[in-house]
A and B are shown apart, each in its own frame.
Chain A
Amino acid sequence: DSGVTQTPKHLITATGQRVTLRCSPRSGDLSVYWYQQSLDQGLQFLIQYYNGEERAKGNILERFSAQQFPDLHSELNLSSLELGDSALYFCASSVAGSGVSTDTQYFGPGTRLTVL
Chain B
Amino acid sequence: ELKVEQNPLFLSMQEGKNYTIYCNYSTTSDRLYWYRQDPGKSLESLFVLLSNGAVKQEGRLMASLDTKARLSTLHITAAVHDLSATYFCAVEGGGADGLTFGKGTHLIIQP
Q: Are B96 and A2 in contact (CB under 8 A)?
A: no
Residue of B nearest to A112 (CB): B40
Of the listed stretches A15-23, A72-80, A102-110, name the one at the interface; the rest are far from the partner chain.
A102-110
B17 → A minimal CB distance (Å): 27
18 more A-B contacts (CB under 8 A) besides A45-B99, A107-B45?
A2-B45, A31-B97, A33-B99, A42-B104, A45-B98, A45-B100, A46-B98, A48-B97, A55-B97, A92-B43, A97-B97, A102-B48, A104-B33, A104-B45, A105-B45, A105-B99, A107-B43, A109-B41
Cβ contacts A34-48/B at 8 Å (1 or 0 each): 010000001111111
Q: Give the CA-CA distance A46 to B90 in the complex, in Å.
A: 14
Q: Is B42 an interface residue (CB 8 A)?
A: yes
Do A58 and B88 contact each other (CB < 8 Å), given the known contacts A2-B42, A109-B42? Answer: no
Interface residues of B (CB under 8 A from A): 30-31, 33, 35, 41-45, 48, 50, 88, 90, 92, 95-101, 103-104
A-side interface residues, number (CB < 8 Å) = 31
Quick one: which of B43, B97, B101 contacts A98, CB cutoff 8 A? B97
When distances are taken between beta carbons in the complex, the residues of chain A under 8 Å from B50 are 101-102
Q: Give the CA-CA distance A58 to B101 in the complex, in Å.
A: 12
Do A42 and B31 contact each other (CB < 8 Å), given the known contacts A48-B96, A56-B96, A106-B45? Answer: no
The 3 closest A-B pairs by CB, nearest first: A45-B98, A56-B96, A43-B101
Do A108 and B99 contact each other (CB < 8 Å), given the known contacts A43-B88, A98-B30? Answer: no
A-B contact pairs, 20 of them (CB 8 A): A2-B44, A31-B97, A33-B98, A35-B98, A35-B99, A42-B101, A42-B104, A45-B99, A45-B100, A47-B98, A48-B96, A55-B97, A56-B96, A56-B97, A57-B96, A94-B97, A98-B30, A102-B48, A106-B45, A109-B41
Do A104 and B101 contact each other (CB < 8 Å), given the known contacts A2-B42, A43-B88, A98-B92? Answer: no
